[in-house]
Amino acid sequence: MDGAGYFTTFLRVMAPMARPSIITVILFNFLSFWNEYIMALTLIPGGNKTLPVGLLNLSAAQKSAQNYGQLYAGLVIVMLPTLILYILVQKQLTEGMTVGGVKG
């Protein structure tokens, strides 16, 4: 890479090497924010709620007569974006988890 500047070196050398690790961090942060329950329950006022809080409200609204079909359908809807994202980045996630353990 003779004559390459800092930006070219970053784009051609450093970014491809760091991509699995960056994707792993992005996926874990997405999961952390997607499944956030306590902060959403505490800080979001009014009718705008996140999906986990909405599932709790659905469960609490039915009190004694639990309709498990609706509750499980809601769980699938909450889980689906996470599952799709994991399927899309599965290879990079595995590389990002093992890149630190490989010696040589």
- Please give the average per-residue pLDDT across 10-38, as a whole number: 84
Residues 6+ apart with CB under 8 A from 92: 19, 20, 23, 24
pTM: 0.65
Q: Is the pLDDT of residue 22 over 80?
A: yes
Q: Is the pLDDT of residue 26 over 70?
A: yes
| Per-residue confidence (pLDDT) for residue 100, from 0 to 100 | 61
User: E strand or H helix at 48, and its extent?
Assistant: none
Determine the 3-state secondary structure of 20 from DSSP: helix
pLDDT digits (tens, 9 = 90+) for 31-85: 888 888 788 778 877 777 788 888 887 777 777 677 788 888 888 888 898 899 8
Please give the Cα distance from 40 to 54 (Å, whole number).
Answer: 10
Query: C-alpha dihedral over 92, 31, 74, 60, to 10 degrees?
Result: 160
Domain ranges of the chain: 6-98
